[in-house]
Amino acid sequence: MEPYEDCWIYSGSAKERLWNKSAIGRRINNNDLLLSPAEVIFCCNHRHLDWPSENWLEKESEKNPDLINEAIILEALRVPGNKIILTENLQKNQDFIFNEKTWGLRWNSNNHPRDDKPESEVIWFHSSEYIEMNELLIWAIDVGSRNRIAEVLIVDNEQAVVTYNITSENPMGELLPPNEEEKIFISKLENIKIDRGTLYFGFDKWPSEQLGIDYQNGRIIDEVTEEYLFKDKEDYSEITEVFADLLERGLHPRPGFKYGTEWRCYDKKIGTDHAPWLVVDPSKNIMTWESACLASRLASGVNKIWLLPLKNKKLWSYLGIIRPPTNSRWTNPVKK
């Protein structure tokens, strides 16, 4: 191999097979392959190519401290048979449009870039990194506009890799939101202030099942619900704005404490089905990937989707971090 700018030119006998079978690298000159350093590592480990020099890995890692993690991500994607073209190899190629933040395009094992459209766009992070939530949402929306999966791969200090799909969710239910008459009715009821809320009583029938929690012959309303009922919309706190938005979407938000979230949200009358979504407080929008992966795994374990509300152009959007199906959870091979 010969160095070329920040990459390496491979002109050996395996170059045709590397491209035709695995879509590795970028073709240049007379079908030679231009390989990124991460692709060089993959080819040396999995395609029996010789290392460019004895101390090559040490020298390249010194130039790019992320190289080993990048190579681990590439390995996790390619070992199951996926074909990955790094976007740095596509800057001069007009055949594919992709987001500027995308690291690579992925094809499944049965497809090839010369014939097929990519299945997903990929970015990767280290587990200790903080998430720019709004940027992640904008990226996912853009990727989805091309009918591609928005895939994030996370690598940790053990060099283990996990995969998540990033979505812009649109949670909707079939329930009617509380109306003004119901709000006025509640405002006229007898009530007693209690810790973290108010107990309302003296009614024959409570007007809206989406508001409050039954207790004895009364109803307990928490502080967020009270703000929703009795303040003007322009005076809502951020969390009350989200609560109001969920109600307008026909959902029934209930406390989500036991799931580590603000609410679990039902899209039908309680008792008909489980709550499909777990929605966190919008102020919890600064977290590392370690925390996000833990939350998403918990949600997946109870068959729910973890959602983070984010304000996008004065409207609330919902970012989903979802564990993909078992046949699409790319991870690196177990090393002993």
Question: What DSSP string describes 69-111?
Answer: HHHHHHHHHHTTT-EEEEGGGSTT-TT----TT--EEEE-TT-
The mean per-residue pLDDT over the stretch 61-82 comes to 95
Residue 136: name the closest of 118, 124, 119 by CA. Answer: 124
Q: How far apart are the C-alpha atoms of 179 and 174, rounded to whole Å?
A: 15
Task: Please tell me the number of Cα atoms within 13 Å of 108 on its side-chain side.
Answer: 7
Give pLDDT tens digits for 117-176: 999 999 999 999 999 999 999 999 999 999 999 999 999 999 999 999 999 999 999 999
pLDDT of residue 226 exceeding 70: yes
Q: How far apart are the C-alpha atoms of 98 and 104, rounded to whole Å?
A: 9
Question: Which helix (H) or strand (E) element contains residue 120?
Answer: strand 120-126
CA dihedral 248, 252, 253, 259 (to 10 degrees): -140
Q: What is the mean pLDDT of the chain?
A: 92
Q: What pLDDT does 9 receive?
A: 92
Residue 133: name the closest of 306, 259, 324 by CA. Answer: 306
What 3-state class would DSSP assign to 332? coil
pLDDT of residue 78 exceeding 60: yes
Give pLDDT tens digits for 304-318: 999 999 998 889 999
Residue 249 φ then ψ, to 5°: -80, 5
**Of all residues in the chain, what percent carry a pLDDT higher than 90?**
79
Q: How far apart are the C-alpha atoms of 331 and 149, rounded to whole Å?
A: 17
Q: What pLDDT does 189 receive?
A: 95
Q: What pLDDT does 94 receive?
A: 60
Q: Name the least confident of 25-39, 148-162, 238-252.
A: 25-39
Q: How far apart are the C-alpha atoms of 31 and 48, rounded to whole Å?
A: 19
Return the structure tokens found at 159.
């060099």
**Are the C-beta atoms of residues 108 and 271 closer than 8 Å to each other?**
no
271 pLDDT band, cuts 50/70/90, is confident
DSSP 285-304: ---BHHHHHHHHHHHHHTT-
pLDDT of residue 93 exceeding 60: no
